[in-house]
Amino acid sequence: MAFQLHIRQNLDSARDHFGPGEVRRFEAATVRIGADAACECPLDGQEFAPCHVLLRRGARVLDRVSACPQEGATTYLNGNLLTAPTPLRSGDELRVGHWTLRFQSIHEAPGHNRPFNLMSGLAKAVIALILCLEVAVVVWLPRRMQEVAMWKTQIEQHRVIDLLEWLRRVCRETASTSDFDRTLKREIGLELQARADYVARYGSRLGPAQTRLLHEELTDFDRILKAVTKKALPPALPGIELDAGVQALLDAERRR
């Protein structure tokens, strides 16, 4: 476990304020503090012995750092004379003469174990898969809808063509028993031919609305032809018989 010391001279700060000072970080198991240049934490000052106080961490990783006094060196811990090895806590202050050293533990971020790393990797993979699926849907769905719309339009156009051909065949093949039926079929045949020419010329450019309207017209023709075949249409109106007097007046008017 690493720790740091915040080192300052008391003469540089007020009594009730821990003023700015030098911060040193240590990770070794043993840190010597003193005037000797070989110390891990050398400090200049007549108050310091060559090795004034020793900071030592236990053999285990979670063991605390203890302050160990050295023979012939006076050190105070939080205002009390340090006489035996004492575990330190963050915020404890070691004082030597006019120097104060504040102890601060540094807790490293704990590493992740294997199950956590496995679950984290799996979660990232799932998120990436979901994002890929969303992108695929965003790209694929509009194309799919466009294809469906095109297929629907083509199906409607084929329905119109099939119905048109069937109606034209009915007009040609069904025998008529009266002048009215023959005249009606002839007129319907002309209308169907006009629509057949229109489909042949503009069929590939017909939109859904135009195709639907054309199909409705052909459906109306289909109903009329079925009614003719089943003799369900009302008979044609008889000619108007004018009486002799009215006819004579009309003839006289035309001769003038």
What CATH number does residue 33 fall under?
A: 2.60.200.20
Question: How far is the C-alpha of 75 from the C-alpha of 93, rounded, in Å?
Answer: 10
Boundary-marking domain end, from 82, 106, 130: 106
d(CA 234, CA 192): 23
Domain identity same for 102 and 136: no
Residue 217 lies in a domain: yes
Among the residue ranges 10-14, 73-77, 88-92, 130-134, the one predicted with the least confidence is: 10-14
Do the beta carbons of residue 198 and residue 143 sit within 8 Å? Answer: no
Query: Are 54 and 144 within one domain?
Result: no
Domains of the chain: total: 2
The answer on 126 and 84 residing in a single domain is no
Is the domain of 102 the same as that of 121? no
pLDDT > 90? residue 250: no
* Same domain membership, residue 148 and residue 55: no
The residues near 191 (Cβ < 8 Å, ≥ 6 apart) are 221
Q: Are residues 94 and 141 in the same domain?
A: no
**Domain membership flag for residue 100:** yes
Q: Confidence class of residue 186 from pLDDT cuts 50, 70 and 90? A: confident
The predicted pLDDT at position 237 comes to 46
The set of residues, in sequence order, having a beta carbon less than 8 Å from that of 243 and lying 6+ positions away, is: none
Same domain, 184 and 124: yes
Interatomic CA distance for residues 102 and 17, integer angstroms: 13
Dist. CA 123–CA 128, nearest whole Å: 9
Please report whether residue 223 resides in a domain. Answer: yes
Is the domain of 118 the same as that of 101? no
3-class secondary-structure state, position 84 = coil
The answer to whether residues 166 and 221 touch, using CB atoms and an 8 Å cutoff, is: no
Torsion of CA 83, 84, 89, 94, to 10 degrees: 30
Asked whether residue 250 is domain-assigned, the answer is no
Statement to judge: residues 203 and 134 lie in one domain: yes
Give which of 3, 10, 199, 196 is closest to 108, Cα–Cα. Answer: 3
Same domain, 218 and 193: yes
| pLDDT tens column, 114-152 | 777 788 888 888 898 888 888 887 887 777 777 777 778
Contact 87, 60 (CB under 8 A): no
Q: Is the pTM of this model over 0.85?
A: no
Residue 129 shares a structural domain with residue 220: yes
Structural domain containing residue 71: 2-106
Q: Is the pLDDT of residue 153 over 50?
A: yes
Decide: 160 and 199 in contact? Cβ < 8 Å: yes
Q: What pLDDT score was predicted for residue 80?
A: 92
**Residue 95 pLDDT:** 92
- Considering the domain architecture, whether residues 138 and 101 belong to the same structural domain is answered as no
